[in-house]
Chain A
């Protein structure tokens, strides 16, 4: 299944840094997110877009993860050549990540 099936997200930007929240619809699914949506996987998923580090922050109290991705926005909204200079659509790309159908 896709991450899209169990989580929602919102993307924000500050300078050349994008952050994407990944929020479990059901807080019981938080452990699955934490197990399968690692910083390494996110970095690999965004290869070619995100050129810097990816840092993951954990918020079990609301069943959410927050990914901070450096060098992700072509220099930032003010100077990017991208059609989506804020990178607002990146969260949707992350929700396309495949995760196991049943938990391991």
Chain B
């Protein structure tokens, strides 16, 4: 039975690069997939593209391509990535430049068409969270990107692409596409598409299935986290698969790492919705076949959803923040006093803010009052943050924290302040007909 090996070269935009190179060199993989696009990243990329039409792709695209293009070309490993973000064509052009400089001959495909901002501004699409028409927000809308499925990536691979660079695509679809291409699965073969989607979901966060984000010293120890390796899926044409890693790499693949990852960011395990299929993980099982080899079974699937999800980016005011530390005996009392002082002064200056938050880091900043009070800490960091309509107002919050130096309790130190514009996200559903994927292929000949 035909089998392919798919490696995950990144689990998010800022991820480490060395494990991807290790996979390309030692992983005996056929495909290297970089998943680099989160909910918020694409809106930031859209803003970058507005400021400069040659930008808007992933900030580490050049570094990653420079690291792996040559070895992938030598070994015939195909690369699939959503590092195109808001500008797949520009990402493909940058990749062409790098391939040319390295003397490589490659076909590079850009998959676009996910941008539905104009449809949102002019149509009658409703925002899922609020029920309001997206068009009523057109003055603050920054981006609208529909999650594409595997189909245009499959098409690009069938046209001979060695590197496929996409914008907004459902994360598992990046991994499903090469399985469809290699095994010839039909686009309504729900059983196989669901298994292939489980492959994608287990791999899409990179090191999260090889022992990253897992270690609990004394209970869940993980060896070699410093040189954590990224995962490989060994997939057969009947859809059965094993999760593994490069033998010499750090970390481990166990039934427990797989259990944590299969539920990561999943809601109803019976209905994991993607543009390609409704996958059912509710009967899944994991079996440890050997060291760092976990077999996954029991995934089923049903017909895909009728609509495509859209990430809607919009400008949502400004956030200002200030922090300052107190330490030693009485630190907690002084930090509490500091917060009371800032609260009083923000009232005095008449700060215009719709939401303010006062935290004592080390005391209640993360879990509020959920956990019982602990013995008094010897270091506490006071934090004030708030939401404002203008940058000018937001800046005042950090200023009032900083002035605690000479106007607050004794011994405050290390004050920091910041203010930023907020690009927030909502979601919407659009008919599939509203989205037309486009594939552009550029070739570089050495």
Q: Which residues of A contact B (CB under 8 A)?
A: 8-10, 12-17, 19, 21, 23, 25, 45-49, 55, 57, 59, 61-64, 66, 68, 75-79, 81-84, 89-90, 93, 96
Contact = CB atoms under 8 A, between A and B. Distances in A.
B4 to A, nearest CB: 26
Interface of B: 39-40, 43, 129, 208, 213-214, 216, 219-220, 255-256, 259-270, 281-286, 298, 316, 319, 355-357, 359, 361, 365-371, 383, 385-387, 422-427
A12 B262 CA distance: 11
Given A8-B216, A19-B267, A62-B285, A81 B260 contact: no
A12 B387 CA distance: 24
A4 B270 CA distance: 26
B219 A57 contact: no
B359 A8 contact: no
A85 to B, nearest CB: 10
Contacts of A93: 366-367, 370-371
A78 B367 contact: no
Contacts of B267: 14, 17, 19, 55, 57, 66, 68
Given A57-B270, A79-B424, A81-B357, 18 more contacts: A8-B260, A10-B214, A10-B263, A13-B265, A15-B425, A17-B267, A49-B368, A61-B298, A66-B269, A68-B268, A78-B422, A79-B422, A81-B355, A82-B357, A83-B365, A93-B370, A96-B370, A96-B371
Contact of A83 (B256, B285, B383): B383
**Chain A CB within 10 A, most for which of B255, B298, B369, B424:** B424
Nearest to A50: B370
A58 to B, nearest CB: 8
A64 B39 CA distance: 27
